[in-house]
Amino acid sequence: MILPYLLHADWEEPPLSMEMELPYGRLLQRIIETLTFLRQSNPQTSEASVSMEQVNAAIQLYCMAPGIVNVMLNYKICVEHDLPLHPTVYYELKEARKYRINHEIAEIEKANRLYRRSIHLARDVVMMTAGIEETLDQFRHGIPRELLGFVYSGIRDKYTWRGSDPALLEKLADMVRASYKPDILIAAAHGSIMPSLLLAELLDIPLYFVRLSMFKRNDEEPIIAISDEAWLFSYRESRALLYDEDVAGGRTLSLFQERLKPLFAETRTACSIRHAGAKIKPDYAARTWWD
């Protein structure tokens, strides 16, 4: 697991490795290479034995892992909402009326299968699960070739970075476990992908993402297709934890809860960071501050 390395990182300023622009195929290959390096460097957990080279590699791995899910989520959204598949352009949902591309049912099913698979793969990357390099390589060779050229772009977002601090996530997990036993974690993509991969492991529960990117993708509401509701149907009598890494004004998490609450028996909200001026107060917040 990369957690022991990440505890030595600087969680105030986002690293340069958070800024990236890579074709999906190359991203997967770099993740495999970074995993291989960390394993070959004979990882230890004591502070004295962890080198900065190992810490930097772990940071890079943590920053790349969300891309595994990001591209597959947008692929799924494009085929479900009649949008073009383009390697560098992320189309707005409202543009679907203009294009009206009719994707086959088989492709929609494939996109959902690959999307769900990508979540498991990203979690295994963060956990450095034995054999994940081989599994990731098989995944890379098994997806449609056109997807290998899709470009994943990461930006240096200080709030996402600060909200991904393992110490905050461990604190948040402890707070949740003290009074709530969620059966599934539902996180708002894209910003929450990185911390959610670790938070889900700390809580030891399934993880699912629903896109609600109000600032980067101009989403007006959570993008939920019938396929999402169908997959989540087995949790209809369950408790869900709804998560956004950073609550500034609070509108994103409010819309997220409003849309998802009817799908579960009980929902509670959580965030890593809540700005003191936010209009809503999540059930769990690891840190509240003025900024």
Taking the alpha carbons of 6, 69, 205, 123 in that order, is the dihedral positive or negative?
negative
What does the alpha-carbon distance between residue 11 and residue 162 come to, in Å, rounded to a whole number? Answer: 6
pLDDT above 70: residue 97: no
Q: Counting Cβ atoms within 10 Å, is residue 158 exposed (0-12), middle (13-18) or buried (19+)?
A: middle
Does 99 have pLDDT greater than 70? Answer: no
Residue 84 has a pLDDT of 85
Q: Average pLDDT for residues 81-87, to the nearest whole number?
A: 85
Whether the per-residue pLDDT at 48 is higher than 70: the answer is: no
Return the pLDDT at 241: 98
Give 178's contacts (C-beta < 8 A, 6+ positions apart). none
Asked whether residue 214 carries a pLDDT value surpassing 80, the answer given is no
Convert the pLDDT of each residue in 158-179 to its tens digit.
999 999 999 999 999 999 999 9
* More confidently predicted of 272 and 219: 272
Q: Flag whether pLDDT at 53 surpasses 90.
A: yes
**Hey, what domains does the chain have and what are their CATH numbers?**
3-154 (no CATH), 158-289 (3.40.50.2020)
The pTM of this model reads 0.94
